[in-house]
A and B are shown apart, each in its own frame.
Chain A
Amino acid sequence: MPHVFHVVVCGGIVPDPLQSLEPVAGAAGPSLKNEMMLPAVLDPWAAHALYEAAHLVKAHPGSRLWLVSLGPKAKLQQVMMTVAQKVPFELIALDGPAGGFTEACEVAEALANAILGIAGLDRGKLLLFGGWESASRGAGATLAMVGERLGILDQFQGVDQLTVNADGSLTVLERIEGGQHQVSTAAGAPAVLGWATGHLPEPPNSPAVGMQNMRAIMPALGKAQPFRPAGEGLRFLSVELPRQRRETRIVRDLSAEQIADELVAWIKG
C-alpha cells in the first residue's frame, strides 16, 4: 500500500561557519556584530533534514514537502537562491530575526502558527522535520515545542535514519550516548524528527530545480508574516567570546622518534 506523507521541514538560517562571530550588546538584547552583513547558509542539520525529506517524498508518490523558514526576508532570499537548487520544495517564510539569542518558545509559537496555516496540509500525514539543534541557539528546543503545539506525541531527536515499513510504521535510529543509536518504531505519522547528519550527501546544484522552486519562492517571500520576539522574562547578563588564542609552540626540527617520546610522555603524564 502506498504511504503518503506531508513533510514540513523547519529550518532557519545561520552565519556561514567559516565567519568569525562577535557578540554586541543592544537595547533589545545581544546580537552579532554586522549580523546583516554576514553571509548566511541554511542551518546545517536542518539542511540534512531537508535532503532526507526530499528523498522520502520522492520515494512516496503523492507526498508533499514544505520548508518553513524564519529569518530577515532579504537574507532568506539570498540563502534560498542556493537552497532552491538542491531539492524541490514549497517555501513558507516568516520575516524576523534569525539569531541565536531569540527565545525558542516564541519562535516555536510563530512556526506552529505558520504550519497550521498551510493550505492543503493533512496533519494526519504530517512528518515534522528539522535539525536536532541549530547552529545558532544550539538548544534543540524549538522543534519539540512546535511538535507539542501541534499535539504530536511521537518525537525523535538526533535522527540518523528513518525507514518507512510496509505497514506505514516508521523505524527511527536516534543518536544516544557513546556512539550508539536507539532503535524505535512508531505506528506512523504524525511524528517529529530532529535530524542529525542522516545518510545522504548534499545534493549537487540543479539550475532546473532552482528555477522551478524560485517561481513559488518569490511570492512566498512576499507573503512572509512578520515575527517580533518579545524575549519576555529572559535576561542576558553577559555575552563573551572565550579566550581565543593559545601560545602555540611550533616544533619543526624533531625526529619522529623524539616527537613520539614527547607525545607518549604527555599521554601518560
Chain B
Amino acid sequence: MDQGVNLMERILLLIHPEADGSLPKSALEALGAAAALSKEASRSVWLSERATGGGFVATCGAQRFLGVVGEQFAQARYASDAAAAEALIKTSQATVVLAPATSRWSRVLAGVAQRVGGRIDTHVTALEAEEGRLCATRWYYRQRMFARITRGHRPWMLTLEPGIAPPWQGAAGSAQVENVAVALPDAMRRTTVSGVQAPAADQQTIRPDADLLFVAGAGWTKNQKDGKSHVDEAAKLILGFLRASKASLGSSKSLVDLAGEGQAVLPFMSHLNQVGQTGATPRHPKGLSTCCHGEEPHVVGWRFISERRAVNLDPNCGWAQGKADVLYVADAFEVMAKVNERL
C-alpha cells in the first residue's frame, strides 16, 4: 500500500459527474484539496467516477481509479448512491473519504458513514495535515463560530465546501477505471428521480457563480415617505438591477415570509432566496443589501461574503454595527433607480 509522506492515510475521493457528463467545479476543488494534502502522496488519492470515464482527472496522480457505472446509478437517488459509495469505500479500504458537498453527496454520505462504521464531518471549509494528522475546520451554530477538529476514528468521511481549494487543473488523459459491481435489489429501487423543477431561465434569480449577491429586505414592501407601499416599482427596480448586473438575488426572512401571510409580495422571491440562520449561506465576493435591517439571524448567512455594502434609511440598522464595510443612509428606491440608469 502506498502511504502518504506526511499523512498515513488511504484517501478516497468520491466524485460524480453532472447530468450532462461534466464534472462540477466543486469536484475539481475537492480534488485540489486532496492533492494538496499529500503532494507526493497524491499517488494514494483514489478516485471514483460513476457513469463516465476517468478521462477528466486521469492525470491527477491517483493510484487507482474506481468506478460504479450503470444507468441505475445515473439518478441522484439515496439508495443507489449510498450503495455505490459503500462499495467504493469497502473496495478501496479507505481510511479517509473526501467528497465535494454537492446536494447529491450531502444526501447520502452521513448514512453511508453509519453503514461502514465511520464518522462524518460535513461543510468542511479547510483541511490540513499537521504533524502527520489530518485536521479539518468547520463552522458551528450556523456560521457563528468555527472549530478545528481531528479524529482518531476511521474511516473518517468529510464533505468539502465549495472554494476549499483552487480547482485541480491538469491535462485530460485516459484512465484505467476499475469497475466496482454493485447489486441493486428491488428494495433499493423504490424511489425514482423524475427530474428537476427550475424557474424559467429568465426568472432564475439564484446564481451561485455570480460575483455579487444582491439582498432585498422587507423594507421594499413597507410604506414609504408618501405613506404608501410601492411593491410594483420595487419589483421593477430589483429585476432591472438583476438583469443588468447578473447578480444573484437573496432575501431576508421577513420578506419571503410575507407571502405565507398573504401580504403584497415580490412574485419572483421564494424561501430558496432566503439568506441567514434558516436560509442559505451563499458564497460571493461581494454583497449589496437593500431595505434589509441587518439583524444577526440574517447576517450569519453573509459569513462567506467578503465585501459588504448596504443601503438603508436607518443609520442605526444592524449593518452600521460593524456588519458592513459601507452603509449608505439613503432611500433604496432612489439609489437603485440611479444605479440601474448607470449599468
Instruction: Give the interface of A toward B (CB within 8 A).
Output: 14-15, 17-18, 20-23, 30, 32, 44-45, 100-101, 103-105, 108, 135-145, 147-149, 153-158, 160, 173-188, 196-197, 199-201, 232-242, 244-252, 254, 256-257, 259-264, 266-267
Q: Distance (Å) between the CB of A54 and the closest chain B CB?
A: 16
| A15 nearest CB neighbor, chain B only | B141
Interface string of B327-343 (1 = CB under 8 A from A): 11111001101110111
Is the beta-carbon distance between B145 and A246 smaller than 8 angstroms?
no
Residue B308 at the A interface, CB < 8 A?
A: yes
Cβ-defined contact, B77 with A184, below 8 A: yes
Question: Is B22 part of the binding interface, using a Cβ–Cβ cutoff of 8 Å?
Answer: no
Contact assessment for A179 and B199 in the assembled complex, using a CB-CB cutoff below 8 Å: yes
| Inter-chain contact B190/A183, CB cutoff 8 Å | no
Count, chain B residues at interface, CB 8 A: 97
Residues of B within 8 A of A188 (CB): 190
**Given A176-B103, A237-B150: A254 and B342 within 8 A (CB)?**
no
- Measured in the bound complex, the distance between the Cα atoms of B325 and A240 in whole Å is 22
Among residues of B, the one whose C-beta sits closest to the C-beta of A264 is B342
Q: What's the least CB distance linking B91 to chain A, in Å?
A: 20
Measured between beta carbons, the chain B residues less than 8 angstroms from A17 are 142, 277-278, 296-297, 300
CA distance in complex: A261, B260 (Å): 37
Smallest beta-carbon distance A83→chain B, Å: 16
Bound: A254/B339 CA distance, A: 14
B80-105 interface mask toward A, CB cutoff 8 Å, 1 = contact, 0 = none?
00100000000000000000001110
Which segment of B51-59, B215-223, B267-275 sits at the interface? B267-275
**B198 at the A/B interface (Cβ < 8 Å)?**
yes
Complex Cα distance A136/B300, Å?
13
Inter-subunit contact A174/B122 (CB<8 Å): no
Contact status A187-B191, CB under 8 Å: yes
A–B Cβ pairs within 8 angstroms, 25 of them = A105-B119, A137-B140, A153-B190, A157-B107, A175-B103, A175-B272, A177-B103, A177-B208, A178-B198, A182-B195, A183-B197, A184-B194, A185-B194, A200-B260, A201-B257, A201-B261, A232-B153, A233-B119, A244-B322, A248-B321, A248-B322, A259-B311, A263-B309, A263-B339, A264-B342
Whether B271 and A197, one on each chain, are in contact in the complex, defined by CB atoms closer than 8 angstroms, is: yes
Q: In the complex, which residues of chain B have a beta carbon less than 8 angstroms from the beta carbon of A160?
A: 271-272
Q: Is the CB of B190 within 8 A of A45?
A: no
The answer to whether A155 touches B111 (Cβ under 8 A) is yes
Listed in ascending order, the chain B residues whose CB lies under 8 Å from chain A are 76-79, 82, 102-104, 106-108, 110-111, 113-115, 119-123, 135, 139-142, 144-153, 187-188, 190-199, 204-208, 212, 245, 257, 260-261, 271-274, 277-278, 286, 288, 295-297, 300, 303, 307-309, 311, 315, 319-331, 334-335, 337-339, 341-343
5 nearest A-B pairs in the assembled complex, by CB-CB distance: A179-B206, A245-B322, A260-B338, A233-B153, A141-B110
- When distances are taken between beta carbons in the complex, the residues of chain A under 8 Å from B108 are 144, 155
B147 with A238: CB separation less than 8 A: yes
Say yes or no: B150 contacts A100, CB within 8 Å.
no
With A23-B145, A44-B278, A154-B79 known to touch, is A267 a contact of B212 (CB < 8 Å)?
A: yes
Would you call A183 and B193 a contact (CB within 8 A)?
yes
State whether A138 and B139 are in contact (beta carbons under 8 Å apart), knowing that A23-B145, A236-B147 are contacts in the complex. Answer: yes
B286 touches A240 (CB 8 A): no
Please pick, from B145, B260, B337, the residue contacting A242 in the complex, using a CB distance under 8 A.
B145
How far is A192 from B32 in the complex, measured between Cα atoms in Å?
Answer: 33
Q: A139-B122, A239-B140 are in contact. Are A246 and B324 (CB under 8 A)?
A: yes
User: Are A135 and B191 interface neighbours, CB within 8 A?
Assistant: no
Cα(A235)–Cα(B136), bound, Å: 11
Q: Is the CB of A135 within 8 A of B325?
A: no
Of B151, B198, B278, B295, which one neighbours A233 at CB under 8 angstroms?
B151
Q: Nearest chain-B residue to A253 (Cβ)?
A: B329
Residue of B nearest to A235 (CB): B150
Name the B residues within 8 Å of A145 (CB-CB).
110-111, 113-114
The residue among B82, B107, B113, B277 with the most chain A CB atoms within 10 A of its own CB is B107
Alpha-carbon distance A184/B79, docked complex (angstroms)? 12
B154, chain A: closest CB distance, angstroms? 9
Known: A136-B141, A267-B212. A236 touches B303 (CB 8 A): no
